[in-house]
Amino acid sequence: MPKKKAPRKPKLAVWKFASCDGCQLSLLDCEDELLAIADAIDIAYFPEATRAVVRGPYDVSLVEGSITTSHDAERIHKIRRASKHLVTIGACATAGGIQALRNFQNVNEFISLVYAQPQYIETLKVSTPISYHVFVDYELHGCPINKVQLVEVLNAFLNNRRPVIPSHSVCVECKRQGTVCVMVAHGTPCLGPVTHAGCGALCPAYNRGCYGCYGPNDSPNTTSLADRFEHLGLDHAGIARSFRTFNANAAAFRHESEAHEHNI
Amino acid sequence: MEASAQQEEKPVAVEGGLRTGMINATEMQRLIDVLRKEGYQVLGPLLRDGAIVYDEVEAAGDLPAGWMDEQEGGVYHLKRRDDDALFGFAVGPHSWKRYLFPPMRRLWQAERKGKGKFRVIPEEETPQRRAFLGVRACELAAIAIQDRIFMQGPYVDPVYAARRQNTVIVAVNCGHAAATCFCASMDTGPQVRQGFDLALTEIVDAERHVFLVETGTETGAALLAKLEARPATNDDLAEARRIVERTAESMQRSLDTTDVHDLLLGNLDHPRWDEVADRCLACTNCTMVCPTCFCSTVEDLTDLSGKTAERVQLWDSCFSMQYSYIHGGSVRMSGMARYRQWLTHKLASWIDQFGTSGCVGCGRCITWCPVGIDLTEEVRAIRATAPPAPALEDESEY
Ligand code: SF4
Ligand code: SF4
Ligand code: SF4
């Protein structure tokens, strides 16, 4: 009787664009799960972890980072063509990242200020998320992403089901944990009510307001929250700044910061 | 033999135990000790992160002696009292719901057993005996509402029921109402009426710091019998009643419940819903802090190899978009639809469903709403500007 061939393991690739590597490292940080992951998937391209390269096509591509150069804008199309599923991970890939702060200014001014030899720098005027360029099957938010959620997304794609990643506010996590609301009890401005859950309401648990690392939630009423911030003593510059961090270019946060910038 | 030995242990041999008694504030430690010795985990108020929350209390010293709260829409502050009252504050961000209907609970696990077969491993819960210390009248009313939700009818939540059975309730009559409290208008407080084992009224003035203790059950009477108590005089009782009356009179907020069912359901297109939705963050805080809100979701998780799975139950809220998700999208996309769903359920369709209002007037949703949305104000606004409501048809026709 002919021996049955072992079923082919799904192939995973991890790609990097403009980013800090923090999200990819979340995958390496999955110590407990890493063996199971390696068992279930063929990690075919992951320069951060291995030199071995397996050519595409890939079943799942994880993409970290934003598009900031014309070369990258082409490269992402090649990756899309070589990938069955493309999942973007982190604030850079899903919203443009902290480097999207350039989108609000003239990038040439930054370049001449930052680099000694600006003539060697070639960059786009704006930093954009991957979804501006190619179709994305799933976006996993966070700066950095939560490793448990990353495993859940991989798991869901491996098992052909929807990832269980709630898109409600951070407040839900805060209240389930029993954390005392820093905005109500301390008057600390907190982005939790408009921010996508996922971090486990880490900052409020340490008496800090939420910084919005996971970007806007599924129905962010940023205008009402900004009114509250004003009531708590923030001026327009302060409000604009609070919405302008890792997810500055995410539509809801961008619109809110721009609305206040014009009032400064 | 055993029964008589037990009887001998009791220092006061009144049949059925003492019904009322006076104890010094220092007896609070003995009460906690007695409960702990009988295997109860004592949960009560304590100071944490700038608020009075509920958690395990090991000694009377853990209680927030001399502290009170100041509350307004979206604002909560602690303030020093000019006495050492142990319960001189109103309700805080936590409610007892977190112990009877916990925010997260595993329902079961499953294990793959060969091809196409799996074994379900039910979650075993050994109920922990718990004593709730400092339960307010509005909270007793809220527990009674959740009792109906989880234990009445053909589908009883066995875990809730077991937890409930293993709970002893030491209630407290309120000597102070926050500006957000409106239990008097909801007819749930501030005087506790039923659903307690023991009920305390704190009397603290220049001369004395004592508690009137009233018993509601035999368990409560047995507890009182273990405390160093003296009989309560008529003066003691009168003073305790006066304290609660003063609290009721000092209450600043109210909700006019006259015909509120028809008022809200007859004004589903009132422009006020849009106005409140402009402010509402759909953040869910109001529902999470509400002691009667009972919605939950389940999450199914699998391990990477697909060998094991588990189902977890979590608090959910009608303010979240995913809550009303059915194939193709969410039913309540707008913040307006979600706020309206919440308020009409809480104050109107809840009556159709459970025969009582879903609101006990604790005011938590007002205080802990980050933008201070106040349901009493919303109802007032709708009432003030509603066109005369056409009488609603009988519910059976819905
Ligand atoms: S601390 Fe922030 S995230 Fe937590 S409940 Fe308050 S507003 Fe929401
Ligand atoms: S609706 Fe508000 S006031 Fe009424 S019981 Fe719930 S939290 Fe308390
Ligand atoms: S009413 Fe307040 S607490 Fe409730 S969802 Fe709206 S903003 Fe959040």
Kindly give the distance from the C-alpha atom of residue B365 to the centroid of ligand 2, in angstroms, as a whole number.
Answer: 5
**Residues B161 and B151: beta-carbon distance below 8 Å:** yes
Residues A218 and A249 both lie in one domain:
yes
User: Which residue's CA is the closest to the ligand 3 atom numbered 8?
Assistant: B283
Q: Please tell me the predicted confidence (pLDDT) of residue A110.
A: 85
Alpha carbon nearest to ligand 2 atom 1, residue = B359
A114 and A203 inside one domain: no
Whether A3 shows a pLDDT value over 60: the answer reads no
Query: Is the residue at A20 inside a domain?
Result: yes
Give Cα B371 distance to the centre of its chain: 22
Tell how far the Cα of A196 is from the centroid of ligand 3, in angstroms: 16
Residue A221 structural domain: 170-261
Q: Does A95 share its domain with A15?
A: yes
Min CA distance, A108 vs chain B (Å)? 38
A107 in a structural domain: yes
Same domain, A130 and A199: no
Whether the pLDDT of residue A263 is over 80: the answer is no
The CA distance from B377 to B253, in Å, is 9
pLDDT confidence bin for A222, thresholds 50/70/90: very high
* Final residue of a structural domain among A158, A189, A204: A158
Confidence at residue B397, expressed as pLDDT on a 0 to 100 scale: 42
Check whether residue A20 and residue A122 sit in a common domain. Answer: yes
pLDDT by residue (tens digit) across B29-69? 999 999 999 999 999 999 999 999 999 999 999 999 999 99
B15, pLDDT greater than 50: no
- If one counts the domains in chain A, the total is 2
Report chain B residues whose CB lies below 8 A from the CB of A171. 283-285, 288, 370
Residues A186 and A137 placed together within one structural domain of the fold: no
Across the interface, do B304 and A154 touch by the CB < 8 Å criterion? yes
Cis peptide bond prior to B11, omega within 30° of 0: no
**% of chain B surpassing 70 pLDDT:** 93
Q: Which of B304, B315, B331, B334 to mutate to test the interface with A (most CBs of A within 10 A)?
A: B304
CATH number of the structural domain spanning residue A78? 3.40.50.700
Cα separation, B341 vs B348, in Å, equals: 10
A32 and A70 in one domain?
Answer: yes
Regarding whether A174 and A154 lie in a shared domain, the answer is: no
- Report yes or no on A164 lying in a domain: no
- Fold of the domain built from segment(s) B8-102+124-249: Aspartate Aminotransferase; domain 2 (3.40.640)
Residue A82 forms part of a structural domain: yes
The C-alpha of A220 sits at a distance from chain B's nearest C-alpha, in angstroms, of 7
Phi, psi of B6 (to 5 degrees): -65, -40
- SS3 readout for chain B: CHHHHHHHHCCCCCCCCCCEEEEECCHHHHHHHHHHHCCCEEEEEEEECCEEEEEECCCHHHCCCCEEEEEECCEEEEEECCCCCCCCCCCCCCCCHHHHCCCEEEEEEEEECCCCCEEEEECCCCCCCEEEEEECHHHHHHHHHHHHHHHCCCCCCHHHHHHHHCEEEEEECCCCCCCCCCHHHHCCCCCCCCCCCEEEEEEECCCCEEEEEEECCHHHHHHHHCCCCECCCHHHHHHHHHHHHHHHHHCCCCCCCCCHHHHHHCCCCCCHHHHHHHHCCCCCHHHHHCCCCCCEEEEEEECCCCCEEEEEEEECCCCCHHHHEECCEECCCCHHHHHHHHHHHHHHHHHHHHCCCCCCCCCHHHHCCCCCCCHHHHHHHHHHHCCCCCCCCCHHHC
Span B329-377, pLDDT tens digits: 899 999 999 999 999 999 999 999 999 999 999 999 999 999 999 999 9
B288 touching chain A per CB within 8 A:
yes
CA of A183 to the centre of ligand 1 (A): 6
Is residue A245 a part of any domain in this protein?
yes
pLDDT for residue B10: 36
pLDDT above 70 covers a percentage of chain A that reads 94
- Flag whether pLDDT at B181 surpasses 80: yes
Instruction: Please say if the pLDDT value at position A121 is more than 90.
Output: no
**According to the model, what pLDDT value does residue B2 have?**
37
C-alpha dist (Å) from residue A183 to A151, A180, A231, A258: 32, 9, 11, 23
Q: Is residue A6 part of a domain?
A: no
Residue A98 lies in a domain: yes
Check if A183 has its Cβ closer than 6 Å to any atom of ligand 1. Answer: yes
For residue A43, the model assigns a pLDDT of 85
The verdict on A181 and A151 lying in the same domain is no
Taking the domains of chain B in order of start, what are their residue ranges?
8-102+124-249, 260-293+318-385
Domain end residue (candidates: A158, A190, A218): A158
The residue from A100, A130, A158 where one domain ends is A158
Q: Are residues A115 and A151 in the same domain?
A: yes
pLDDT tens readout for residues B224-279: 999 999 999 999 999 999 999 999 999 999 999 999 999 999 999 999 999 999 99
**pLDDT over 70 (residue A151):** yes
CA of B286 to the centre of ligand 3 (A): 5
Looking at the structure, tell me whether residues A145 and A23 fall in a common domain.
Answer: yes
Answer whether B370 sits within 8 Å of A221, measured CB to CB. Answer: no
Sequence-distant (6+) residues with CB within 8 A of B328 are: none
pLDDT tens digits, A170-196: 999 999 999 999 999 999 999 999 999
Residue B20 to residues A142, B175, B222, B244, B376: CA-CA distances in angstroms?
A: 57, 19, 12, 17, 37
N-terminal to C-terminal alpha carbon distance within chain A: 79
B279-338 pLDDT per residue, tens: 999 999 999 999 999 999 999 988 887 788 999 999 999 999 999 998 888 999 999 999
Residues of chain B positioned with their CB less than 8 A from the CB of A172: 283-284, 288, 315, 317, 320
In a shared domain, residues A110 and A174: no
